[in-house]
Amino acid sequence: MKVVLLPGDGIGAEVVAEAGKALAAVAPDVETSEHPIGLEAIARDGEALPAATLAACEESDGVLLGAVGAGDYSWSASNPEDGMFALRRALDVYANLRPFRAGAIDLVIVRELVGGLYFGERGTRADGTVFDTCEYRPDEVDRVLRRGFELARRRRGRLTSVDKANVLATSRLWRERATALAADYPDVELDHLLVDTAAMRLVEAPESFDVIVTENTFGDILSDVAAALAGGLGVAASASLGDAGPGLFEPVHGTAPDIAGRGVANPTAAIRSVAMLLEHGLDRPAEAARLDAALNRVAAGLRTPDQGGNATTAELGDAVVAALGADARQELADA
Ligand code: IPM
Ligand code: MG
């Protein structure tokens, strides 16, 4: 099995280094290779997603991405973010699963990842007007909705489809398709929420949600809201899956330029993303569970600054590796 590591920008390299150690410790047979994406790639090759990086990803069994972005929003020929968008699109990983767990909160946001406002036509007209468009074909909506239904069926059986159907045509299609597909999933209870209401409800009563399925931009925004309620971006992992081919696994995101280079970023989101890679990408649920358990035990005692502690990125990563080793020795002793 082959996994591609894409450290990317900002804290990406710092957290992916720890994620790589954790992967090597829990699944030593998995081969890894590292490739540039984002700013580093632009500096080296002039493009955010070099052809060699994409080829390596396409030939792999799973891709682990750190983060990309410069924190500079001026127009340029090649933005670091474009590399990530191109990669998401090339792998056609349309279903981005973002689980959030903390106390009574246990929900998953399924964010449509390769369409909608992010990928619609955009441009500038002669009079200076700038536009972005949101478009969806019915089959693009159906395939991600089905992922939502299937996930809900394996969990608590409740799916909330989030849209802005009182305003947007794409949202009316979204709602119509969700209602039509519900007939195929009689065991799932479907409801619809407008995105503004969903944001409010997430803050007021996050424990009331099971699975949320929504458009790309809505999912981006709501997942940061959910992250804020469940420990922050430092602990939020994600899996982006298509129908075939490798999945893309990454923290819910942030290059965190304010703390980059200081070795204090929380690697939990990246290591959790490795657990999601093992489970969803490599079909190795036992190792995924071992890694999750090790991480839970470490996180209970060792905290990086975002969680109110003073542990470093590497200390947390090393502790996870040590916990995996201790578990393995315990299993041998028990056997
Ligand atoms: C995310 C991030 C990205 C996105 C940014 C970095 C472009 O916010 O994965 O949520 O909007 O998709
Ligand atoms: Mg985001």
315: domain CATH number is 3.40.718.10
Residue 144: its pLDDT value, please?
Answer: 98
Nearest of 110, 211, 202, 112 to residue 159 by alpha carbon: 211
> One of 72, 132, 191, 196 is an active-site residue; which one?
196
For residues 103 and 89, membership in a common domain is answered with no
Any domain includes 177: yes
Which pTM was predicted? 0.96
For residues 39 and 135, membership in a common domain is answered with no
- Yes or no: say if 65 and 248 are a contact pair by the CB < 8 Å rule: yes
For residues 193 and 138, membership in a common domain is answered with yes
Residue 74: its pLDDT value, please?
Answer: 62
Q: Which of 96, 220, 222, 238 to mutate to test the pocket of ligand 1 (most atoms within 8 A of CB)?
A: 220
Which tens digits make up the pLDDT trace of 260-271? 999 999 999 999
For residues 212 and 200, membership in a common domain is answered with yes
Looking at the predicted structure, is the pLDDT value of residue 39 above 70?
A: yes
Which of 214, 232, 250 is the last residue before a domain boundary? 232
Residue of the CA atom closest to atom 3 of ligand 1 = 253
For residues 210 and 106, membership in a common domain is answered with yes
* Percent of the chain whose pLDDT exceeds 70: 98
Mean pLDDT value across the chain = 95
For residues 105 and 226, membership in a common domain is answered with yes
Residue 335: its pLDDT value, please?
Answer: 83
For residues 191 and 149, membership in a common domain is answered with yes
Any domain includes 70: yes
Query: How large is the average pLDDT for residues 217-229?
Result: 97
Beta strands 62-67; 247-251: pairing state:
parallel
Residue of the CA atom closest to atom 11 of ligand 1 = 220
Which tens digits make up the pLDDT trace of 54-104? 999 999 999 999 999 876 666 556 788 889 999 999 999 999 999 999 999
Query: How large is the average pLDDT for residues 212-221?
Result: 98
Which of 183, 204, 232 is the last residue before a domain boundary? 232
Helices 313-334, 285-301: axis angle to 10 degrees equals: 120
For residues 208 and 180, membership in a common domain is answered with yes
- CA–CA separation, 304 vs 15, rounded Å? 12
Any domain includes 237: no
Any domain includes 193: yes
pLDDT band at 252, cuts 50/70/90? very high
The whole-angstrom distance between residue 304's C-alpha and the CA centroid of its chain comes to 21
For residues 171 and 134, membership in a common domain is answered with yes
Any domain includes 66: yes
For residues 145 and 63, membership in a common domain is answered with no
Any domain includes 4: yes
The reply to whether ligand 1 has any atom less than 6 angstroms from the CB of 252 is: yes
For residues 214 and 307, membership in a common domain is answered with no
Any domain includes 142: yes
Q: Is 73 a catalytic residue?
A: no
Specify the number of domains making up the chain. Answer: 2
Which tens digits make up the pLDDT trace of 167-212? 999 999 999 999 999 999 999 999 999 999 999 999 999 999 999 9
Which of 202, 232, 262 is the last residue before a domain boundary? 232
The boundaries of the domain holding residue 270 are 1-93+242-335
Any domain includes 176: yes
Paired strand residues for 97: 110, 239
